[in-house]
């Protein structure tokens, strides 16, 4: 019975050793491909290593291969997984540094700042991390300023649209009031005519009188012109008749 237990333990240790060797072999293959800038092939090797033995190193290297392919959101996910399995401060510092870079490339500057701060907490003397942190802070301020400017522009456009709408409504209301006043005046005139037909007749008579006066003036002008022409024909000095 004791021999059986010992044999089982030896077999299990041998199996673990084989698995570890396969994982290590995939990691080394991935590293070689990564160094040759063959990031897609390196990704495949690192994924295989992670399936065999998921640990901080396999996730970290996989995140790096994704980062080099500019697949930053996927890289962030793998760096987060690597951080959860890291066992030393140095590992965590390196992981959070790369995590900050991935967030920075995605223009997620606040997340980038948080990651750099975590990296510095594990390694306070890292100057490169401090420089990247300063860059992320500047970019965050610019981003916030741009967002504020966009918000102001949006508010100004909304105010202008509201003013234009109010002005248009006021113009429409003024036109409606004008039309209503005109209709009311027409109705009042019609009502006055219906209530005072004699006054309308007087207006008509006055209108006819004006027409007749115009005709009379034209006749008088014509007669006056005839008189003036006749006077011009007889305007010479009369000669006395000769006595016989």
Residue 77 is part of a domain; what is its CATH number?
A: 1.25.40.10
Kindly state whether residue 223 falls inside one of the protein's structural domains. Answer: no
Kindly state whether residue 72 falls inside one of the protein's structural domains. Answer: yes
- pTM of the predicted model over 0.75: no
The yes-or-no verdict on residue 6 having pLDDT over 60 is no
| Residues of the domain holding 19 | 15-146
pLDDT in tens, 203-214: 555 555 667 767
Kindly state whether residue 195 falls inside one of the protein's structural domains. Answer: no
Query: pLDDT: is 30 or 169 the higher one?
Result: 30
Domain count, the chain: 1
The yes-or-no verdict on residue 137 having pLDDT over 70 is yes
89, 47, 84, 86: which is closest to 64 by C-alpha?
Answer: 47
At residue 7 the predicted structure's pLDDT band, cuts being 50, 70 and 90, is: very low
116 contacts 96 by C-beta, under 8 angstroms: yes
């Amino acid at each position: 019975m004791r021999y059986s237990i010992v044999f089982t333990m030896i077999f299990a240790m041998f199996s673990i050793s084989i698995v570890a060797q396969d994982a290590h072999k995939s990691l080394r293959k991935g590293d070689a491909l990564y160094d040759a800038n063959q990031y897609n092939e390196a990704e495949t090797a690192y994924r295989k290593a992670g399936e065999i033995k998921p640990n901080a190193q396999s996730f970290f290297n996989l995140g790096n291969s994704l980062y080099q392919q500019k697949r930053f959101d996927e890289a962030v996910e793998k760096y987060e997984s690597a951080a959860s399995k890291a066992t030393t401060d140095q590992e965590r510092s390196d992981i959070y540094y790369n995590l900050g870079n991935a967030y920075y490339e995605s223009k997620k500057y606040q997340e980038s700042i948080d990651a750099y701060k975590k990296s510095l907490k594990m390694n306070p003397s890292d100057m490169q991390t401090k420089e990247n942190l300063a860059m992320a802070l500047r970019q965050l301020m610019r981003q916030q300023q741009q967002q504020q400017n966009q918000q102001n522009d949006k508010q100004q456009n909304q105010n202008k649209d509201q003013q234009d709408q109010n002005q248009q409504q006021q113009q429409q209301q003024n036109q409606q009031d004008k039309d209503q006043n005109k209709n009311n005046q027409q109705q009042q005139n019609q009502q006055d005519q219906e209530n005072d037909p004699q006054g309308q007749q007087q207006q008509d008579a006055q209108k006819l009188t004006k027409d007749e006066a115009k005709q009379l003036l034209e006749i008088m002008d014509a007669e006056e012109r005839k008189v003036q022409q006749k006077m011009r024909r007889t305007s010479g000095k009369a000669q006395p008749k000769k006595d016989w």
